[in-house]
C-alpha cells in the first residue's frame, strides 16, 4: 500500500544516518539533503551528536512523530525499530535499506514477516527490505549514485534489483535519460513491482504524470496484476518496456540463486508481455535506449529520413532499420532537387540525406526542415552529427535543439563523438534531450518497439462456449491424468470446436457399423497408449470392411490397448494447437503448423488465455511459415478466420477449466473452408 507519507512525507527520519559517506547511512542522508528535501529531516544515531550538520537523536524514543522512516541499521534491529515507530511515532511509511532478511536466512524471513504484520496493522507503507530505496523529486531516499536528472516528464523506473537499478541508471544518464521516479522494491515484501504499477494506474493523471515506465523484473509474482495494470496504463497513453531476466535455463538458475525467485517459463513471459503491450528488452542498453525513444513524440508511421554528415553510419542505420521492418524510402522529385541545390557539391538527398563532412549547421537545419515540411511520406527524422575534432559542435547542436523543439515529427539525435565532443554533447543533453550514440542500437530498439502489439482487449469471448457444461464435465472427472477421448469430444463440443466424426469402442461390430455409416475411407487408432504412432497404433486410409476387421484385431493386440477409435478419413494441411498451464500465469496457448513445423522448426507462437480474435490473428501472423497458411503460388491457403476462432474458443474453454494442465490438438486438418480437430489429448489435475 503506497500512501502519501511515502511519496510526499512532511518529515523523514533516517535510523542509522551517519557521517560516513562510504556507508549507506551516510550516503542516503547526503542524497536527501542534496536533493533539496523541503520537509523536516531527522536522524537517529546513538553514537553521533551531529550528522552532516543536522542535530542527531540518540534513540527513537527522542524523536517527535515522523511520517517516513528510512532504516539503515542491521537487520536484527529492524523489527523493534519498526514496532516502536508505528506504535509511538505515528510513522506511516518505511524504506528498509538493510539486507539480511528472507533473501539470506530463515530467521531473516521471520523478521521480515513481523515487520510486514506491523505495517499492515498500522496501515504503513513498506519499501524493501534489501533495496537501494526510493528516488523522487520530493525526496532522494536512495544511498546510491548516480542520481539522474529528475523531471516530472521523465521516466518512472521500477526495479526488482537494487544493484541492477544502479547499473541501468549508469546506462541511462550517459544517454541523457531523465527520471520522474526510481523504485527499488528489494524483497518486495509488501510493495512489489506489480503494486507500484497498480498505484500508478489507479492514480493516473494524464496531465501531470509521466507516461513512460521502465521495469527490471527478476520474478513476476503476480502475472495477472502485472497484465491488468500494465495494459490499463498503456491504454491510458503510457508506454512500458521491461527486462525479465532469467529467460534461459541457466539464466533462471542465476535468478533463483539471486533473490529466491522461481523463474517463470519464458514463453509465458513472452505471451504476457505481448498481451499487455509491454516492449520486451534483454539488456540494460536496450532498456535505456527504448526509454529514450519513449520520451520522444510517438511515431505515426514507419518511414524514416536520415540526415547525416557521414555516409557510413547512414548506411549502417539504413541496413538496421530495414532489417527491423522499418523503411528509409527513397526521396526524389522537385523538392529533393531543390534541397540538393542548397547543399554542397557531392551531397546526396536520396535518403540518407548526406550533407557531407563539410556540411554546415545551417545546411543541417535546412535538411531537417525539408524532411519536416516538404517530404510528405516521412514520419520521423534521424540526425547523425559528430565531429572529427576541427570545430566545436555547439552551433550545430543548437540547430538540432531548436528543430527538435519546433518539429511535429520525432527527431532522433545520433551524436557519436562522446569523447571528442564530450562538452558539446553534455550541453545538448542539459537542455533535456536524449542521445543515441550508436545508430544500430537505436534501430534495433525501435524495431523491438514497433513489433510489440497493442494491449489485448480484456474481455473474454464467450459466445458459443457453454461454460456451465464445461464445468459440469470437469466436475464429473474423478481422477487426474489424460482424460478419455469421449470427454475430450464433449469438452470440444461445449466450446464449439469441430472434431472429426469418430467412434470409440472395444466392440468390433460397433466399429464396423460406424465406418459403414460414416463412409470409407476411415482411420483406425488404438486407444490407451499415449504415443500411438510409435507403437504402430495409427492406420490411415482403410478402404474396406475386411481391411478394418483385420486392423481392429491387430490394434487391440497392442499392449495397453483399451479400445479402438474409428474416424472419418479427411485431408488437409496439418495444424497444431497446444496449451500448457503455467502456475500463476494461467494457460499459455501455442499455435502453428503441424509436423516438422512444430517438431523441427519450432515455428510456434504463443499467447496467454483468454485470447481475443486480434490476439489469435497476431499469433497466426507471426508464424514464420504464415505464407503457407495464407496460400502460396499454386497452393490454396487455409481458412484463417476459422483457425483464429478455434484458438479463441479453446482459450476460453481453458480459462474456465484451469484443471487442464496440458492440451494438444495435433493435428487439425484444414483447407480453405473448414478446419477439423483430428486428434487431441487433455491432461487434467484435479
Q: How many residues bind a copy of itself (CB under 8 A)?
A: 104
Nearest to 31 by CA among 105, 114, 128, 133: 133
121-140 residues near a copy of itself, rule: CB under 8 A: 132
- Part in contact with a copy of itself (CB under 8 A); list of ranges 101-109, 450-458, 459-467, 643-651: 101-109
**Sites for a copy of itself among residues 26-45 (CB under 8 A):** 27
Which of 163, 530, 550, 686 is the binder for a copy of itself (CB under 8 A)?
Answer: 163
**Could you say whether residue 322 binds a copy of itself (CB under 8 A)?**
yes
Contacting a copy of itself (CB under 8 A), which of 23, 340, 431, 554? Answer: 23
Interface residues for a copy of itself in 368-407 (CB under 8 A)? 386-391
The 3-state DSSP class for residue 111 equals helix
Write down the number of H helices and E strands in the chain. Answer: 24, 31
Kindly tell me which of 206 and 634 has the beta carbon lying closer to a copy of itself: 634
When the beta carbons of 232 and 289 are compared against a copy of itself, the nearer one is: 289
Q: Which of 8, 151, 221, 420 forms a contact with a copy of itself (CB under 8 A)?
A: 420
CB of 568 to a copy of itself, least distance (A): 24
Q: How far apart are CA 311 and CA 630, in angstroms?
A: 40
Q: Which span sits near a copy of itself by CB under 8 A: 303-311, 579-587, 652-660, 663-671?
A: 303-311
Q: What is each CA distance from 235 to 201, 204, 278, 455, 613, in whole angstroms?
A: 10, 11, 11, 7, 18
Stretch that binds a copy of itself, among 58-66, 95-103, 399-407, 426-434 (CB under 8 A): 95-103
Q: Is the peptide bond before 545 cis (omega within 30 degrees of 0)?
A: no
Residues 182-241 that bind a copy of itself (CB under 8 A): 216, 218
Identified binder of a copy of itself from the candidate list 38, 208, 250, 476, rule CB under 8 A: 250
- In which element (H, E) is residue 591 found? strand 586-593
Q: How far is CA 357 from each of CA 310, 344, 384, 414, rounded to the nearest angstrom?
A: 6, 10, 11, 15
Interface with a copy of itself, residue 78, by CB under 8 A: no
Q: Is 254 in the site for a copy of itself (CB under 8 A)?
A: yes
Q: Is 599 in the site for a copy of itself (CB under 8 A)?
A: yes
**Interface segment toward a copy of itself; rule CB under 8 A; list 41-49, 64-72, 281-289, 502-510:** 281-289
Q: Given 3-state DSSP classes, what are the helix, strand and coil percentages for the chain, each rounded to the nearest 5?
A: 40, 20, 40
471-478's contacts with Cβ under 8 Å and 24+ in sequence apart are: 471/656, 471/657, 474/657, 474/659, 474/660, 474/684, 474/686, 477/659, 477/684, 477/686, 478/686
Contact between 536 and a copy of itself (CB under 8 A)? no
Options 49, 207, 249, 334; binder of a copy of itself; rule CB under 8 A? 249
Among 36, 64, 312, 519, binds a copy of itself (CB under 8 A): 312
- Please say which residue, 10 or 362, places its beta carbon nearer to a copy of itself: 362
Burial of 334 (0-12, 13-18, 19+ CB in 10 A): exposed
Distances (CA, A) of 519 to 513, 543, 567: 10, 9, 10
DSSP assignments along 620-657, one per residue = HHTSTTHHHHHEETTEE---HHHHHHHHHHHHHHHHT-
Q: Is 441 in the site for a copy of itself (CB under 8 A)?
A: yes
Cβ–Cβ < 8 Å for 280, 242 = yes
Q: Which is nearer to a copy of itself, 191 or 317 (CB)?
A: 317
Among 354, 461, 640, 679, binds a copy of itself (CB under 8 A): 354
Give 497-528 as a DSSP string: --B--EEEES-HHHHHHHHHHH-SSEEEEEES
Q: At what angle do helices 640-655 and 613-621 cross, to 10 degrees?
A: 120
Of 391 and 462, the one with the shorter C-beta distance to a copy of itself is 391
Among 239, 274, 309, 655, the residue binding a copy of itself under the rule CB under 8 A is 309
Q: Is residue 533 close enough to count as binding a copy of itself by CB under 8 A?
A: yes
- Among positions 319, 374, 664, 671, the unique one binding a copy of itself when judged by CB under 8 A: 319
Query: Is 166 an interacting residue with respect to a copy of itself (CB under 8 A)?
Result: yes
478, burial (CB in 10 Å: exposed 0-12, middle 13-18, buried 19+): exposed
- Tell me the per-residue interface mask from 104 to 123 with a copy of itself, x by CB under 8 A, - otherwise: xx------------------
Amino acid at each position: 500500500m503506497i500512501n502519501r507519507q511515502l511519496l510526499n512525507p512532511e518529515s523523514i527520519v533516517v535510523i542509522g544516518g551517519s557521517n560516513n559517506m562510504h556507508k549507506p547511512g551516510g550516503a542516503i542522508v547526503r542524497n536527501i539533503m542534496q536533493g533539496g528535501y523541503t520537509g523536516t529531516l531527522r536522524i537517529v544515531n546513538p553514537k553521533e551528536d551531529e550528522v552532516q550538520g543536522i542535530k542527531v537523536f540518540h534513540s527513537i524514543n527522542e524523536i517527535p512523530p515522523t511520517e517516513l522512516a528510512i532504516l539503515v541499521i542491521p537487520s536484527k534491529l529492524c523489527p523493534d525499530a519498526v514496532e516502536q515507530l508505528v506504535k509511538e511515532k505515528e510513522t506511516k511509511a518505511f524504506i528498509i535499506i538493510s539486507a539480511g532478511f528472507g533473501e539470506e536466512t530463515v530467521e531473516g524471513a521471520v523478521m521480515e514477516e513481523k515487520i510486514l504484520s506491523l505495517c499492515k496493522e498500522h496501515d504503513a507503507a513498506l519499501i524493501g527490505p534489501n533495496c537501494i530505496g526510493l528516488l523522487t523529486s520530493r525526496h532522494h531516499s536512495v544511498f546510491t549514485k548516480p542520481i539522474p536528472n529528475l523531471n516530472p516528464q521523465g521516466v518512472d523506473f521500477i526495479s526488482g534489483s537494487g544493484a541492477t537499478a544502479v547499473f541501468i541508471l549508469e546506462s541511462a544518464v550517459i544517454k541523457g535519460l531523465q527520471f520522474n521516479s526510481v523504485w527499488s522494491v528489494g524483497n518486495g515484501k509488501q510493495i512489489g513491482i506489480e503494486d507500484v504499477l497498480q498505484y500508478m494506474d489507479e492514480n493516473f493523471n494524464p496531465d501531470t504524470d509521466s507516461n513512460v515506465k521502465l521495469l527490471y523484473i527478476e520474478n513476476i509474482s503476480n502475472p495477472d496484476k502485472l497484465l491488468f495494470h500494465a495494459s490499463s496504463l498503456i491504454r491510458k497513453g503510457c508506454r512500458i518496456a521491461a527486462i525479465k531476466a532469467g529467460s534461459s535455463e541457466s539464466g533462471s538458475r542465476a535468478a533463483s540463486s539471486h533473490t529466491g525467485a522461481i523463474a517463470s517459463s519464458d514463453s509465458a513471459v513472452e505471451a504476457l508481455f505481448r498481451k499487455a503491450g509491454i516492449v520486451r528488452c534483454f539488456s540494460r542498453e536496450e532498456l535505456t535506449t527504448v526509454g529514450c525513444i519513449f520520451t520522444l513524440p510517438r511515431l505515426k508511421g514507419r518511414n524514416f529520413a536520415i540526415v547525416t554528415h557521414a555516409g557510413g553510419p547512414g548506411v549502417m542505420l539504413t541496413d538496421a532499420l530495414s532489417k527491423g521492418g522499418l523503411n528509409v524510402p527513397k526521396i526524389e522529385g522537385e523538392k529533393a532537387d531543390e534541397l540538393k541545390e542548397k547543399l554542397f557539391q557531392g551531397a546526396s538527398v536520396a535518403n540518407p540525406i548526406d550533407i557531407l563532412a563539410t556540411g554546415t549547421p545551417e545546411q543541417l537545419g535546412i535538411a531537417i526542415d525539408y524532411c519536416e515540411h516538404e517530404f510528405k511520406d516521412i514520419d520521423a527524422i534521424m540526425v547523425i552529427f559528430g565531429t572529427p575534432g576541427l570545430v566545436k559542435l555547439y552551433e550545430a547542436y543548437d540547430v538540432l535543439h531548436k528543430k527538435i523543439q519546433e518539429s511535429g515529427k520525432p527527431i532522433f539525435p545520433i551524436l557519436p563523438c562522446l569523447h571528442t565532443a564530450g562538452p558539446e554533447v553534455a550541453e545538448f543533453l542539459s537542455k533535456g534531450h536524449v542521445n543515441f550514440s550508436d545508430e544500430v542500437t537505436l534501430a534495433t530498439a525501435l524495431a523491438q518497439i514497433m513489433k510489440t502489439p497493442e494491449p489485448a482487449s480484456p474481455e473474454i469471448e464467450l459466445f458459443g462456449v457453454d461454460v456451465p457444461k464445461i464445468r459440469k464435465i470437469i466436475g464429473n472427472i474423478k481422477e487426474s491424468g489424460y482424460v478419455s477421448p469421449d470427454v475430450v469430444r464433449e469438452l470440444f463440443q461445449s466450446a464449439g470446436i469441430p472434431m472429426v466424426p469418430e467412434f470409440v469402442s472395444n466392440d468390433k461390430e460397433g466399429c464396423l457399423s460406424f465406418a459403414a455409416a460414416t463412409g470409407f475411407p476411415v482411420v483406425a487408432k488404438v486407444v490407451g497408449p499415449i504415443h500411438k504412432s510409435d507403437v504402430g497404433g495409427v492406420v490411415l486410409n482403410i478402404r474396406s470392411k475386411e481391411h478394418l476387421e483385420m486392423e481392429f484385431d491387430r490394434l487391440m493386440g497392442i499392449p495397453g490397448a483399451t479400445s479402438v477409435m474409428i474416424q472419418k478419413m479427411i485431408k488437409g494441411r496439418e495444424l497444431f494447437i497446444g496449451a500448457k498451464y503455467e502456475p500463476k500465469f494461467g494457460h499459455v496457448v501455442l499455435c502453428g503448423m503441424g509436423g516438422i513445423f512444430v517438431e523441427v522448426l519450432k515455428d510456434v507462437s504463443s499467447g496467454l488465455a483468454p485470447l481475443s480474435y486480434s490476439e489469435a490473428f497476431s499469433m497466426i501472423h507471426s508464424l514464420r511459415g504464415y505464407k503457407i497458411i495464407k496460400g502460396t503460388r499454386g497452393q490454396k491457403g487455409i481458412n484463417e478466420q476459422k483457425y483464429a476462432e478455434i484458438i479463441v474458443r479453446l482459450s476460453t474453454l481453458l480459462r474456465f477449466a484451469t484443471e487442464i494442465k496440458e492440451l494438444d490438438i495435433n493435428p487439425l486438418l484444414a483447407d480453405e473452408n473448414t478446419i477439423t480437430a483430428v486428434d487431441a489429448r487433455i491432461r487434467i489435475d484435479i
